[in-house]
Amino acid sequence: MSRSNKLHSVAAIFDNPDKVIFAAEKVRDEGYKKFDVNTPYPIHGMDEAMGLGSSKIGFVTLFFGLFGGAFILLFMWWSLALSYPLFIGGKPFFSLPAFFPITFETAVLFACVSTFIALITVFFKLPFNNHPLHDTDYMKQVSVDKYGIYILLEDEKFDKDKIIELFNSLGASSTELIYQPKEEKYSMFQPKYLIFLVFLAVGTSASTYLMLNKLMYINPFNWMEFQEKLNPQESSLFFADRRSMRTPVNGTVARGFIPYPYKGIANPKEVLSNPTLPTTSFLKLGKKKYLTFCSPCHGNFGEGDSRLNGQFPNGPTFHSDKVRNFKDGMIYHIITNGQNSMSAYDRQISREERWAIVDYIRVLQRAKNAKNSDLEEIKKEPSTND
Amino acid sequence: MTNNDTGYIKRTLPKNVGKLGIILFLVGAITGSVGFFLDPARASYSYLNSYLFILSIAVGSLLLVAIEYAANATWSTPFRRMSEFLASSLPLLILLVIPLLLNIQNLFLWSHSEEVAKDHMLQAKSVYLNTPFFSVRVFVILLIWSLFYYLIVKNSRQQDETGDLLMTKKNNKLSIIFIPVFAITVTLQSIDWIMSLESRWFSTMFGVYLFAGITCSALAALTFISVMLKEKGYFHPKITKDHFYSLGTLMFVFICFWGYIAFSQYMLIWYGNLPEETFWFMQRWKGGWKIVSLFIIFGHFLVPFSVLLSHPSKTNFKKLKFISIWILAMHFIDLYWLIMPGMNGNGLNFSFSWMDISFLVATIGIIIYMFNRMFEKYNLIPVKDPKLQRGLDFHL
C-alpha cells in the first residue's frame, strides 16, 4: 500500500497486557478521546481502562429480536389461522404453545443475524476495507504477540511530539507514525474488467446448467413423477374396451353434492320444506343473490318489470296470488329446475343461496302486502336502515 | 502457591443475627407444631413445602460449590464460602425429614394399602412407591449429600490453614463425582416428594424442572447475601461490580433455563393431549389455582427476565437485592403450586393456611442461624485458596 504524507495516527507497541492497560488508563486520563487499543486477544478490564461505556449493540439485538418474534407470530397467525387454516392434531388454528418454539427461534435468528450485520456495517464500516492500519508494522506485531495503542489525528488534543513522549514515558517498546494510504482509483468500465464480467456470467450459468441438469441429475425416486394411475382420456389395456374412464356405479354421488329428488319434474306433487332460518345475515345474502341473478327479469322488487326491454320474455311478478301461495319449496324447485322459458339455476347458485333467495322473495311479498298492524310491529323494533 | 496477603479481615455479624435466627425458628416451630395437632394433613403438606424450600437452597448451594471446583472457575472463588455456609443446613435435613416420614400417610395416596388394592396403576407402581423403600431412599440420598458436603467443606476449610493445592485437586475430583450423583438423586427426590403426591401423574422432565428451580433459588440466596454483606462492608473490598455482574448473569441464565424447561414440560403435555397427563395442568388452571399459575408465569420468568436483561441492572445492588428475594419467593410459590393441589387427592380448590407461613418462618430461621454460626467460626472467603487472587482480580 503506498502512503501519502497525510498523518492518520500515532501508534505505540507495548510488550505485555498490564502495560497496555496502564497505558490505556493514562491516555484516557490525559483527556484523549479518539484512540483505540489493538491486542491479539480480548483483555479483561480493557473496557473500563479505556473508559468505554456499555456497547449500544445490545439495542440493535433487542429491537430485532422483538421484531423477529412479532413478525413470525403475525406470519403464523396469518398463514395458519387466516389464509390457509389447517387442522393439526385437533388444536385451535391459532394455538400459542405450538407457536412459541418457532417464535423463540426466529427471534434469536433475527437478533443474531442483525447483530452481526450491524456490527460489520455500522460499527466496523464494512464496505470500507482500506483501513490505514492495514499493512503496517504496528498491525503485524499486534496481531501476533504485542499490544498496541494508537491515537487518531482527529483527536482535539492531538500533538505528535507530545503523544510520542507520553507513549515513551508509559514504557512503549516502539512508536510508529501511521500515514493515510494514497487514494487509488479504478475505472468501472475498463474493457478488461467488462470482458471478465461477461465471461464470469456465461461461465457460471453454463457450469451451473451442466452441473444441475447433466452431471448431477440423479432421480433418487421417481414414484411421484411416474405414478401408477391413469389420467383422463388415456387408454388402458386393462379393460376390454380399452378406456380408462369408467361410468360410475349407479347411485354414485359426487363429494359435497346432494342430489335433488324432483329434478326434471315439471309440477312436482310435493316439494322440499324450507330448512333455513330467516336471520338478518341470511336475508342479506338472499338480497345480494336475488339482485344478481333474478332482478334482471323479475325486477328489483319482484314486480315483473324486467330491465331486458323485451329481448326475453318478461319474468312474471311475484306478487300474484299464485306465487304468494307457492310453498317455499316450490320457489326453490323453480330456481333449481327452471320452468318453461326460465332456465335452471342450480349450477350457478348453491343450495344455501337458493334458500336465501326464497326467504328474500318472501320478504318482498310481505312488504308489498303490508298490514296496518305491521307498522306497530316496526315501531316496536329498533330501526335498521337495511 | 500460598497467598496470605489478600487483605481480608475476619469479622463477626452483629449478635442480633443469631438471635433473630433462633426467634424465627422458635416462632415457626411452635406454631407449626400446634398446626400438627389441629390439622395434621394440612400441616404435613405445609411442612413438606418448607422442607423442600430449605432443601433447595442447601443442596443447590452445594451444587454451586461443586460446579466451581469442577469447572476450576476463578471469579466465583471469593463467593464460594457463602455457598458453603448456605449448604450447612444439609446434615440437619436428616433430622428434619423425620416428621415427614411419620406423616407419610397424610401425604401419599400410595402409602394406604387399601387404596393400592383398589387401583391397578398404584399396584403397578408399588414396586417403587412403598413406604419402606421410600424411607430408605430418602435417608440414603440425604446421607450421600451430607457426605459430599462434609468432604468438600472439610477440604476447603483445611486449605485455609495449610494452603495446600492438593485440597483443590481433591475437591475437584469430589465435585466431578458429585455432579452426576446430584443429577440422579435430585431426580429421584423430585419424583418421591412431589410427583408421587399425585401418584397417577408422570412427566419425564420433572427432575430437570425441580433442578432449574433449585439452582435459581441457590443463586438468588447467594446473590442476596453477598450483596447485603458487600453493602454492610463485611465482604472483601476487591469484590467489584464485575463479580456481581457475573452473579446476575448466572441468575439470568438459570431463569431462562427454568422458563425453557417449564414451557417445554407444558408444551409436550399440551401437544400429546393425553388425559392421564393433562389433568395435572387442568387442575392448576381451575379456580384460584389459575391465578397462581399465571402469577408463576409472570413472576418466575417474565419479571426476573426483564429486570435482569439489561447490562446495568446486573450491577445495580438495589435491583439485585430485590430480584434475588423475588426469585426466592417465587421458588417457594412454585413449590406451593407443585405440592398443594395434590392435597386430599384431587379437586381441592386453592386455599391458604397460616401453617404454610409458620414453617417457612422456621426454615428462614434455620438458614439465618446456621449462616451466622458458620460466619462466626470460619473465614468468609477461602483465604489460602490458590484461585483466590485471580478471583479477586477478576474483571470483565
Q: What percent of chain B has pLDDT over 90?
A: 69
Residues 6+ positions from A144 with CB-CB distance below 8 Å: A40
Tally of CA atoms within 13 A in the half-sphere of A158 that contains its CB? 15
What average pLDDT score do residues A227-239 get?
85
Residues 6+ positions from A90 with CB-CB distance below 8 Å: B273
What average pLDDT score do residues A227-248 get?
86
Whether A97 and B395 lie within 8 Å, measured CB to CB: no
Does residue B66 carry a pLDDT above 80? yes
**In chain A, what residues touch B312 (CB-CB under 8 Å)?**
54
Out of A103-117, A306-320, B134-148, B225-239, which region has the weakest mean confidence (pLDDT)?
A306-320
Domain boundaries, chain B: 2-392
Q: Is A232 helix (H, G, I), strand (E, B) or coil?
A: coil
Q: What pLDDT shows up at residue A270?
A: 86
CATH number of A280-380: 1.10.760.10
Residue bearing the bigger pLDDT, A72 or A377: A72
Mean pLDDT of chain B: 91
What average pLDDT score do residues A151-159 get?
88
Does residue B3 carry a pLDDT above 50? no
Name the pLDDT band for B6 (thresholds 50, 70, 90).
low
pLDDT in tens, A359-383: 999 999 988 888 888 788 777 766 5
What is this model's ipTM?
0.81
Whether B273 and A89 lie within 8 Å, measured CB to CB: yes
Angle between helices B77-86 and B241-272 (to 10 degrees): 60
- Around Cβ B247, how many Cβ atoms within 10 Å? 22
Q: What pLDDT shows up at residue A127?
A: 66
Does residue A8 carry a pLDDT above 70? yes
Q: What pLDDT shows up at residue A190?
A: 83
Q: What pLDDT shows up at residue B344?
A: 63
Quote the DSSP letter at residue A211.
I
Q: Measured between CB atoms, which of A45, A47, A89 is closest to B271? A: A89
Name the pLDDT band for A66 (thresholds 50, 70, 90).
very high
Cell numbers given for B326: 423475588
Q: What pLDDT shows up at residue B346?
A: 46
Name the pLDDT band for B41 (thresholds 50, 70, 90).
confident
Q: Which of B246, B189, B239, B221 is nearest to B88 (CA)?
A: B221
What average pLDDT score do residues B157-164 get?
89
pLDDT in tens, A256-314: 778 888 888 888 888 888 888 889 999 999 999 999 999 988 989 988 888 887 788 88
What average pLDDT score do residues A226-249 get?
86
Q: What pLDDT shows up at residue A246?
A: 86
Mutation to test the A interface, candidates B252, B313, B395, most A Cβ within 10 Å: B395
Q: Which of B386, B78, B387, B85 is nearest to B238 (CA)?
A: B78
Instruction: Determine the Cα–Cα distance for residues B366 and A33; give it in Å rounded to an integer.
Output: 54
B274 touches chain A (CB under 8 A): no
- Around Cβ A187, how many Cβ atoms within 10 Å? 6
Q: What pLDDT shows up at residue A217?
A: 79
Tell me the shortest Cα–Cα distance from B335 to chain A, in angstroms. Answer: 23
- Measured on CA atoms in the order A250, A256, A258, A259, is the torsion positive or negative? negative
Q: What percent of chain A has pLDDT over 70?
A: 97
Quote the DSSP letter at residue A279.
-
Burial of B310-340, coded b for 16+ CB within 10 Å and e otherwise, reads eeebbbbeebbbebbebbbebbbbbbbbbbb
**In chain A, what residues touch B266 (CB-CB under 8 Å)?**
97
Whether B311 and A54 lie within 8 Å, measured CB to CB: yes
Cell numbers given for A180: 493515510
Q: Would you give the end-to-end CA distance of chain B in angstroms?
A: 25
Cβ–Cβ pairs < 8 A, chains A and B: 27
Cell numbers given for A257: 353434492
Instruction: Determine the Cα–Cα distance for residues B234 and B238; give it in Å rounded to an integer.
Output: 12
Q: Are A93 and A83 in contact (CB under 8 A)?
A: no
What average pLDDT score do residues A57-77 get?
94
pLDDT in tens, B107-124: 898 998 888 899 898 999
Does residue B343 carry a pLDDT above 50? yes
Q: Are B201 and B175 in contact (CB under 8 A)?
A: no
Tell me the shortest Cα–Cα distance from A235 to chain B, in angstroms. Answer: 48
Out of A110-124, A299-313, B83-97, which region has the weakest mean confidence (pLDDT)?
A299-313
B37 touches chain A (CB under 8 A): no
Whether B394 and A44 lie within 8 Å, measured CB to CB: yes
- In the sheet that A35-38 helps form, which strands lie side by side, from edge to edge? A35-38, A147-152, A3-14, A174-181
Q: Are B196 and B129 in contact (CB under 8 A)?
A: yes
Q: What pLDDT shows up at residue B348?
A: 60
Instruction: Determine the Cα–Cα distance for residues B377 and B372; give it in Å rounded to an integer.
Output: 9
**In chain A, what residues touch B311 (CB-CB under 8 Å)?**
54, 58
What average pLDDT score do residues B142-166 get?
93
Whether B263 and A58 lie within 8 Å, measured CB to CB: no
Does residue B85 carry a pLDDT above 90? yes
Instruction: Determine the Cα–Cα distance for residues B346 and A206; give it in Å rounded to an integer.
Output: 72
- Around Cβ B290, how many Cβ atoms within 10 Å? 12
Tell me the shortest Cα–Cα distance from B396 to chain A, in angstroms. Answer: 5
What average pLDDT score do residues B358-368 get?
95
Domain boundaries, chain A: 1-185, 186-229, 280-380
Q: What pLDDT shows up at residue A129?
A: 67
Cα-Cα-Cα-Cα torsion B179, B180, B185, B187, nearest 10 degrees, comes to 110
- Measured on CA atoms in the order A279, A284, A288, A294, is the torsion positive or negative? positive
Does residue A122 carry a pLDDT above 90? no
pLDDT in tens, A215-232: 887 777 888 888 888 888
What average pLDDT score do residues B199-225 get?
94
pLDDT in tens, A196-218: 999 999 999 999 999 988 888 77
Instruction: Determine the Cα–Cα distance for residues A142 and A37; give it in Å rounded to an integer.
Output: 9
Mean pLDDT of chain A: 88
